[in-house]
Amino acid sequence: MIIRTSNGYDFFEVSSAMQKAIRRADAAVAGYFALELWESGYRDYVWKRLFTISAEDCFGIITKEIEALWQGHELVNKGKSEPKGRIFVSKAVIILCECRKSRDADHLQNFVYDRRAVDVEAWLEDVRKYPVAIPRYTFDVHTRKGKKMGRTKEEFFREEYEALTPKAPGLFDSLVP
């Protein structure tokens, strides 16, 4: 089963594109897809993903900033029947795009703790026919299309590490293939 957003995108591709655009400091693409999720009724999910990105891809203590924006979002929605506060999602995306990047937390769990680097099951298909194309970098070992293309976990770690913008030196940089 493929879950679609309100504009017909594959839900999982939108989610992946948002995160990978944040890694590359591409606020326009990241913001578009974050708001696509928000407008499609996946408000809780987009916040969960932004929290994950703050821990997985960002240097320093940025998660508190995202939490404060989430709290603002929740406050303006208290007692509302129609959702409000997408500005908080937009601000979170901009902060995550602009902050220095580091994959240390993800590298710690994958390279240091779990050396098996187990492939993650993927669900995605090509939806380039929509108004904003899913970026090519979306299709990695975590997506259905990326797996069909033969993408590997090694490529994922190398390419996503090289794409961090701006990048802070990481504790586990020497482990990246």
Residue 110, pLDDT score: 73
Whole-angstrom distance, CA of residue 161 vs CA of residue 177: 10
Q: Which residues pair with 26 in a beta bridge?
A: none
Q: Are 7 and 32 in contact (CB under 8 A)?
A: no
Whole-angstrom distance, CA of residue 133 vs CA of residue 17: 10
Say whether 123 sits in a helix, a strand or coil: coil
Backbone dihedral angles phi then psi of residue 67, each to the nearest 5 degrees: -60, -40
Whole-angstrom distance, CA of residue 21 vs CA of residue 28: 8
Q: Are 156 and 141 in contact (CB under 8 A)?
A: yes
Q: For residue 20, is pLDDT > 90?
A: yes
Residue 131, pLDDT score: 63
Q: Are 23 and 159 in contact (CB under 8 A)?
A: no
Query: Using the 8-state DSSP alphabet, how is residue 10 labeled?
Result: B
pLDDT in tens, 117-172: 444 333 233 333 456 777 888 888 888 889 999 999 889 888 988 888 888 887 67
pLDDT in tens, 56-109: 989 888 999 999 999 999 999 998 888 899 999 999 999 999 999 988 888 777
Widest CA span in the chain:
50
Indicate the pTM of the whole model.
0.69
Terminal CA-CA length for the chain: 34
For each of the domains in the chain, give its residue range(s) and CATH number, in order of start: 11-175 (1.20.272.10)
Whole-angstrom distance, CA of residue 116 vs CA of residue 97: 30
Residue 168, pLDDT score: 81
